């Protein structure tokens, strides 16, 4: 049986998930640790790493902080975190056009630029706001 060397395996895959859009969540979470917020390095240099990788559990790879605290944390995909943050913030991005929300309406696909007074007519009675 042929054994893999750690140097050969890191050539094809990064040691930890790479940073994505400025997001790197793979670091020590203990506030008293000197490695708090400091990401594990991509290069595996013997004796120069603040973290060791633990793959005893084949389902979840984890990282162990080797400085004073010894905190173990699972490795997470920075891409997944960035995508989820983008999905959650998507409602904050406003559109410069509006259209009728009713899919059965003929104006559902007609987008009207914001600021076109009279593009839509209001029907019915709305109670005035009391200040």
Confidence at 36, pLDDT banded by 50, 70, 90 = confident
Of the candidates 4, 81, 17, 5, the residue with the CA atom closest to the CA atom of residue 51 = 17
pLDDT of residue 10: 45
pLDDT in tens, 44-103: 666 677 788 887 777 677 888 877 788 888 888 899 999 999 999 887 776 666 677 778
Which comes out higher in pLDDT, residue 106 or 30?
30
Q: What's the predicted TM-score (pTM) here? A: 0.57
């Amino acid at each position: 049986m042929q054994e893999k060397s750690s140097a050969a395996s890191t050539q094809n895959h990064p040691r930890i998930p790479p940073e994505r859009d400025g997001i790197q969540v793979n670091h020590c979470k203990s506030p008293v640790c000197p490695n708090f917020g400091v990401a594990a390095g991509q290069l595996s240099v013997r004796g120069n790493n603040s973290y060791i990788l633990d793959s005893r559990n084949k389902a979840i790879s984890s990282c162990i902080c080797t400085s004073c605290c010894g905190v173990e944390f699972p490795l997470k995909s920075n891409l997944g975190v960035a995508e989820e943050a983008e999905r959650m913030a998507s409602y904050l991005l406003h559109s410069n056009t509006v259209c009728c929300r009713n899919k059965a309406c003929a104006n559902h696909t007609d987008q009207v630029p914001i600021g076109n007074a009279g593009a839509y007519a209001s029907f019915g009675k709305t109670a005035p706001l009391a200040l």
